[in-house]
Structure 1
Amino acid sequence: MPITIKTTKLHSSTEGPKRPKKRWLSPSSINAYLRCPRSYYYSRIAKLKQKPSVYLIRGIAVHSAIQKFYTHKIHRCINMDYSEIRRIVIELLKDEWKNQKSDILELDLKEDEIAFYFEESRKMMLNFLHDFLDDGGFEKPEPIIEKTLFSRKQLLLGRIDAIYNNRDPPLLVDFKTCKSKELIDDYKRQLGIYALLYKENYNIIPTIGIHFLKFRHGLEEFKMTERYINKIRDLIRDIHSKTRSERITDYPCTCGWCKKNFKI
């Protein structure tokens, strides 16, 4: 009876380890990589905690307060006096500001500096309220708030602050707490990514808007073209190809100060 020997195919050592899979990307991670690859490495691969900044803290507090404005159904209190709804909006901000207390203390700011940034934030919330009232917000359909869209095809996700489906095409809005209305490249890419995500999910190119909360009537709307969306697709493909490695040496520092922004 012949003897058979079971053989196992050995992989050549020259094949090396498998290439890491692509990582999920978002507007913030894409912009982080383009500003400085090392900063992207620290936050997305090494998972280091970023040091707090007053602008980040303020952004979180204001965004959360606006979200609560809708989740607590304040936008449906049509018979409420202006003075009362104004008081509630300011209280929403105060609550969110308190939630950021530990990070605020880390900043080592003086009391008058903290008061200055809170007052700026308070004015932003009132600008939001006044724009809501001027636009007849009580009578309009409720927007979708804080909606995350995914594209498995692109390995891409994005969290949209507000979607107004009563518009044709729908309007996607991002709230900004920045000091000017300049449409910087980071914002353009972010808007393009939102348009791409919405198109891939609903087969519609939406109108995109930024609500600059520092200003009254701060909503600026932009039309997205198929050409720009395709440009965003190319960018995503390129960044996927550059962010598979887990070696820090593959992510050079191009800003000169990213180490200062993380708890290393």
Structure 2
Amino acid sequence: TNEVDFNEHITREKNLFLTALTRAKERVFLSFPNNIPAIEEVAPSIFLKNIFGGKEITRENCEKIKLNGHSVIYEENGYSDFFERATRLGEANEEVDEHITSKEELEIVLKRFIGYGLDKEKFSNMLDKYKLGYLDKNYLLMEEPCLPELPVSRDIGANFTYSHTSIKNYLECPRKFYYSRVLDIPGPKSIHLIIGSIEHEIVQNLHNQKKYPQIDENVFNEILNEVWERYRGEFDNEFYEIVWKNYITGRILDYMNRYGKYFKNVYETEKEFKLYLNNKYIISGKIDRIDKRDDSYEIIDYKKSGNGKENRLINMFYTRSEDFQMPVYYYGAKDSLGINPSIFSYIFFDFDKKRRCEKVEIPIMNLDVKGRIRHVTPEIMEEVKIKLVSILDDIAMERTGFNRGDNTECRTYRGYRCEYLNICNQSQL
């Protein structure tokens, strides 16, 4: 990477580090490997070194440091000793009870201690020697320093609820689905998720005709400021907050100017549904907007950014099995809400990274038009439904073992980075 990119990365990391120091209610734990460098990926943070002014990280030097008026406490082998006792507990052939976690949860715990002189080969051997790999959850919660409560594994049974997003996660990587939906570990908030949430809230308020019968720029600014107050603490600093606020302002005003004349067609916003697919699987969802169009309805989904015309968006579920949002929402509207959609539309607030709002409409037609696929038919939707049920069968039967997908990209430079990269024992960097 070049020097400019590196400096930008360091600046962002520094902001996150300072945020952690200033927002902690009681304590901040700064951990590092005893054997440096035990593993290159978990070498001490350069900001931890900065705190010590380049001096060796020792108990004596800790006593000389104050952070925001608070003492720095040095606990040598504190976590390491805890790790050794926890692993002994894991080897014990104790009877399983409600306080015992699964082997998968054990992997998460071991990942937290990997920095203590435990290289990747030893880590793999450590897992292999467990018969069942149990850890006593109560022990984990009672010992100091306290660790967050470990997640409880969910059963994928008759009452398990899917969403189009969780299905997409599974298709990207079964392991990711396991961490996010089976163990129910929430992923970290990314700035893109935060911006998407703000945009959705603003647009939903714009369509509240009872509260705002007339929409203009003054009403928009009122809504923007009201929504923004709830998200002010999500930004690293005032500079980023101003940048993103200007970005959102431009995107939503463009949306109002280009598509405001259709606001009178809004029938429902944020409409929830629960679909019982083939009386076998439960899929829930929330449709951003439903418009009334003559004798039928239009389903509209907002996207912060993206690109693609009709054929690409259709093939995401029809030929490539990547994203089943459109068929899930189609059957959710039809079977759960009792409405017959004739058009599915995506509204991209930032289309193709060109800072312009664009709408892509996909008609749902009975007529089979030859040539480039720009529409779908009810017959196509039935084909896709069969495919979707087959995928859910695989998930329910755990046919993949929730192992990492063969073509999964755990991390790419300036691209997608899996939020479970640091705890996944199958990740490939």
TM-score, normalised on structure 1?
A: 0.74
| Alignment partner of 1:150 is 2:277 | no
1:48-197 matches, cutoff 5 A: 48-71=185-208, 73=210, 75-77=212-214, 85-105=216-236, 111-135=238-262, 137=263, 140-152=264-276, 153=279, 154-181=281-308, 183-184=312-313, 185=316, 189-197=324-332
Write the distance in 2 (CA, Å) between the matches of 1:56 and 1:217: 18
Query: What is the Cα deviation at residue 58 of structure 1?
Result: 0.5
Q: 1:210 is matched by which residue type in structure 2?
A: Y
Structure 1 window deviating more from structure 2 (202-211 vs 67-76): it is 67-76
Residue 212 of structure 1 is matched in structure 2 by: 348
When residues 255 and 98 of structure 1 are mapped into structure 2, their CA distance, relative to the original with a 3 A threshold, is farther
Larger RCO of the pair (alpha carbons < 8 Å, separation 6+): 1
- 3-state SS of the aligned residue for 2:288? strand
Write the distance in 2 (CA, Å) between the matches of 1:104 and 1:70: 27
Query: What is the Cα deviation at residue 195 of structure 1?
Result: 1.2
Residue 198 of structure 1 is matched in structure 2 by: 333
Q: 2:157 is matched by which residue type in structure 1?
A: K
| Alignment partner of 1:256 is 2:414 | no
Write the distance in 2 (CA, Å) between the matches of 1:149 and 1:43: 21
Structure whose residues are more often helix by fraction: 1
Q: 1:88 is matched by which residue type in structure 2?
A: V
Query: What is the Cα deviation at residue 227 of structure 1?
Result: 2.6
1:112-137, CA deviations, whole angstroms, 9 ceiling, x for partnerless residues?
Answer: 444333222111211222134343x3
| 8 A contact 1:212–1:219 mirrored in 2 | yes
| 8 A contact 1:181–1:212 mirrored in 2 | no
Structure 1 window deviating more from structure 2 (55-64 vs 225-234): it is 225-234
When residues 30 and 231 of structure 1 are mapped into structure 2, their CA distance, relative to the original with a 3 A threshold, is farther
Query: What is the Cα deviation at residue 74 of structure 1?
Result: 5.2
Write the distance in 2 (CA, Å) between the matches of 1:223 and 1:210: 12
1:195-229, CA deviations, whole angstroms, 9 ceiling, x for partnerless residues?
Answer: 12222232634311111223656222102312321
When residues 252 and 61 of structure 1 are mapped into structure 2, their CA distance, relative to the original with a 3 A threshold, is same
Q: Which runs of 4+ in 1 moved over 6 A?
A: none
* Residue 229 (structure 1) aligned to one of 351, 375, 381: 381
Write the distance in 2 (CA, Å) between the matches of 1:195 and 1:256: 31
Aligned residues: 232
Structure 1 window deviating more from structure 2 (198-207 vs 115-124): it is 198-207
Q: 2:300 is matched by which residue type in structure 1?
A: V
1:99-121, CA deviations, whole angstroms, 9 ceiling, x for partnerless residues?
Answer: 2334434xxxx644443332221
1:70-96, CA deviations, whole angstroms, 9 ceiling, x for partnerless residues?
Answer: 33635512xx7xxxx313213323333
TM-score, normalised on structure 2?
A: 0.48
Query: What is the Cα deviation at residue 237 of structure 1?
Result: 1.2
| 8 A contact 1:193–1:232 mirrored in 2 | no
Percent identity between matched residues is: 21
Residue 24 of structure 1 is matched in structure 2 by: 161
Q: 2:347 is matched by which residue type in structure 1?
A: H
- 3-state SS of the aligned residue for 1:261? coil
Residue 183 of structure 2 is matched in structure 1 by: 46
When residues 72 and 134 of structure 1 are mapped into structure 2, their CA distance, relative to the original with a 3 A threshold, is closer
| 8 A contact 1:209–1:220 mirrored in 2 | yes
Based on CA coordinates, which of the two structures has the bigger radius of gyration? Answer: 2
Write the distance in 1 (CA, Å) between the matches of 2:398 and 2:324: 25
| 8 A contact 1:45–1:246 mirrored in 2 | no
Query: What is the Cα deviation at residue 169 of structure 1?
Result: 2.3
